A = this chain, B = another copy of it.
Amino acid sequence: MRAEPGGGVEEVGSVLGALADPTRRRLLDLLAAQDAATATTLAGLLPVSRQAIVKHLGVLDAAGLVVGSRVGREVRYSLRPAGLDATTRWMSSLAADWDRRLAAVKRVAEAAERDST
């Protein structure tokens, strides 16, 4: 079963982990630019072997960010709108979450400031 961002805590890590690698981010960029591509094609655009690309696509797939579908003898990979969409939403909520916490931290800092002066 593929990871569905927005679900459990486990998925958070898989998405962040997938996004942490620069080659995988480039892969997402490339896929966004051309809708769909095969591992072999992508390997021609990046300075790594096809097998390395395949592994990266596997990680991205496991994180629910990408999907591959077989067409004849080749496998076309493309972005997974649902997964990416969920990820962006989750990121926004995480950002909001942190905003709340930072606000709390700032309040404490200001209170300490007042106490010391």
Query: Which residues of B are found within 8 Å of A13, using beta-carbon distances?
Result: 20-22, 25
Contact of A32 among B35, B81, B88, B105 (CB under 8 A): B105
- Cα–Cα distance between A70 and B9 once the two chains are bound (Å): 33
- The answer, yes or no, to whether A48 is at the interface (CB within 8 Å) is no
CA distance A59 to B95 in the complex (A): 20
Asked if A46 lies at the interface with its beta carbon under 8 angstroms from chain B, I say no
Q: Which partner residue on chain B sits nearest A31 by CB separation?
A: B105
Which of these, B25, B87, B91, contacts A92 with CB under 8 Å? B91
Question: Does the CB pair A20–B17 fall under 8 Å?
Answer: yes
Is A79 part of the contact surface with B, judged by Cβ < 8 Å? Answer: yes
Given contacts A13-B20, A16-B19, A20-B20, contact A98 B104 (CB under 8 A): no
